[in-house]
A and B are shown apart, each in its own frame.
Chain A
Amino acid sequence: MLANYGYKDGSGEYFITIDTDKCDGCGECVKVCPAGVLEMITNDYDEVVPAVTEEQRKKIKYSCAPCKPVSGPRNVPCIAACKPAAITHSW
C-alpha cells in the first residue's frame, strides 16, 4: 500500500509516501528523524509500519525544512535510513 501523508496548499504539494509493501518495519526512520515527524503504527491490515503523526500531517513543509536546504546537497535522514527504499518525499 502506498500511504501518502501530507497536504497541498497554495505554495505546493507536500507529501511523504510510505510504501508499506517494501517496508520491513525496522523503525530506523522514526529514530533518525530530528523533528519527530514519524511514528510506528499498526495499520488497518495489521502491518507494523511508519506513519506521519497526526500532529505533523498539516505542517511537514515546515517540520521537514531543516533537512531540506533549498540549495546544496540533500541528505534526508529518513530516506537515507530506509534500506528497502520505502520512503519518498514529493518535494
Chain B
Amino acid sequence: MTTEYWRWKEYRWTAEDKDWKKADILTAGVDVGSVSTQAVIMTDGDLYAYSNMRTGSNSPDSAKKALDWAFDDTELKMENLHFIVGTGYGRINIPFANKAITEIACHARGANFMYGPTVRTVLDMGGQDCKAIRCDERGKVTAFLMNDKCAAGTGRGMEVFADLLQVHIEEVGDISLTVEKEPPPVSSTCVIFAKSEASALLRKGVPKNEVLASYCSAMAHRVFSLLERLGVEKEFAITGGISKNKGIVQRLEKELGIKPLTPKHDPQIAGGVGAALFAKSLIEKQRKGK
C-alpha cells in the first residue's frame, strides 16, 4: 500500500477524573465538517470526552460514528444525553441532533470556553473553508466573514500539498520553517494553480522545505486578507485543524503582528465544544420553562 501522507491521526479522549453519572446535565455537540468530524460530550458544561475523526461520504453516519467513539468505554449511551446540538457543514443532516446551530456561533462560543473570555477575534481554519469571527466576552458573535468559494487556504489544500510533496501532514509546518530565507509565496487563489506552481518548482530542483514554505506563506497571506477585511481585535485565537500547523500560525503571526493564544485543548474541537455549550443553555432554558 502506498503511504497516505495526507492522512492525519484520528483519536479520542476522556477526562479520567470525572464521573458522568454524577453530572446533572449531559450534553453533546457534534461538529460534522467537510473533512473531519468531532463529537464532544460535556458534563455540566465541563469537557468530559471527545473524539476526532474523518468525515465519510455520509454525514449522518460520520456523526453517529464520532459520537459512538466518544462514548467508547464510558458506558454512556445516546439515551443518557439530555440534549445534542449538531453543527458544521453537515449539521442539517444529523438525525439524532435536537437542534442545528451554525458553526460560526459554535466556534465563537467554543473559543470563549477554550481560550477564555478575553478572546475577541477567532479564526477558524477548517477543512474546506475559512471563517473570521469577532465575538464579545460571552462568546456571542458580533461580526463574521467566511470564505468557502475555494479550498485554497484550507485543510483540504494542505492535504493536497502533503500528498504532492510526500511529507506527512503533521510535519508540514515544522519542515516549512526550516528554510533559511522565506521564498516567495505560490498562488493563493486556487489550490490547483498552487499545486501546478509547486510541481514546476520541484521540477526546477527547489527543495521540498522551500516549496512547503511557499505554500504556507500563501495560505497565511490569504487568511490574513480575510482577517484584515473584518478587523482584528485582541485577544486573537485560531481554531480548526490548521491551527496545529506551526508553519501557517507563525507566518500569520508575523503578518498580523499579534500572537495567537495557546489553547488548553485540541483547537480542532472548538466547534463541538461550542455546540455542547449551546446544548446546555438550551436544556436549562427548557427545564426552567417547565
Contacts and interface: CB of A to CB of B under 8 A. Distances in A.
Contact of B101 (A4, A5, A15, A44): A44
A55 interface: no
A5 B102 CA distance: 14
Interface stretch (A6-14, A26-34, A62-70): A6-14
Contacts of B134: 2
Interface string B132-162: 0010000011111111111000000000000
A2 B142 contact: yes
A14 to B, nearest CB: 9
Most buried by B among A8, A43, A58, A90: A8
Given A44-B105, A58-B149, A8 B142 contact: no
A55 to B, nearest CB: 13
Nearest to A90: B229
Contacts of B140: 1, 45
B143 A7 contact: no
Given A44-B101, A45-B105, A4 B148 contact: no
Contacts of B148: 7, 57-58
A3 B144 contact: yes
B142 A4 contact: no
A9 B149 contact: yes
Contacts of A90: 229
B49 to A, nearest CB: 25
Contact of A10 (B102, B141, B189, B225): B189
A2 B143 CA distance: 4
B283 interface: no
B150 A44 contact: no
B261 interface: no
Nearest to B135: A1
Most buried by B among A10, A13, A43, A44: A44
A44 B275 CA distance: 11
A52 B288 CA distance: 35
5 contacts: A2-B142, A2-B143, A4-B229, A4-B230, A45-B141
Closest 7 CB pairs of A and B: A7-B149, A2-B143, A44-B105, A4-B145, A10-B189, A58-B149, A44-B101
